[in-house]
């Protein structure tokens, strides 16, 4: 379940950036940033999520799990702290961000289920796990 959730959140995030591309670009330029910000955002979303997907679901990295937990928390705080920037990008982007954040929280929550914590603790070598947790 973790794999599907994190990849779904990544797709929603990238799609939101693509759909809101012009609004994000204009906001970036007005803020003194590069006009390539939306493109950089798409690359960041894809790379960030693929790295965590691979290191957690395929390599059973407990360190990556905790990095994802921490970065998810920081991201949520950032969304609240800078809510006016999200609102400025329009209602579609706000709703997509809320949906993606909720899915991220669900994906992180799956990492705290008993079978996934045992599997991560053993680096994927032992423990009885629900075969659906990482698929």
pLDDT tens per residue across span 9-40: 999 988 998 898 888 888 888 888 888 888 88
pLDDT tens per residue across span 49-94: 999 999 998 888 999 999 999 999 998 998 899 888 888 888 999 9
Contacts of residue 121, Cβ cutoff 8 Å, sequence gap at least 6: 62, 127
Position 127 pLDDT exceeds 60: no
Q: How far apart are CA 134 and CA 121, in angstroms?
A: 15
The runs of H, that is alpha helices, within 20-36 are 21-30
Confidence of residue 126 (pLDDT cuts 50, 70, 90): low
pLDDT of residue 45: 84
pTM, full prediction: 0.80
């Amino acid at each position: 379940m973790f794999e599907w959730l994190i990849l779904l959140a990544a797709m929603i995030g990238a799609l939101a950036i693509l759909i809101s591309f012009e609004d994000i670009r204009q906001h970036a330029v007005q803020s003194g940033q590069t006009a390539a910000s939306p493109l950089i955002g798409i690359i960041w979303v894809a790379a960030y999520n693929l790295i965590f997907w691979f290191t957690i679901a395929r390599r059973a990295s407990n360190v990556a799990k905790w990095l994802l937990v921490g970065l998810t928390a920081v991201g949520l705080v950032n969304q609240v702290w800078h809510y006016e920037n999200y609102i400025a990008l329009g209602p579609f982007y706000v709703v997509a961000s809320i949906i993606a954040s909720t899915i991220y929280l669900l994906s992180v929550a799956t990492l705290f289920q008993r079978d996934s914590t045992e599997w991560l603790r053993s680096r994927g070598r032992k423990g009885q796990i629900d075969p659906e947790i990482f698929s």
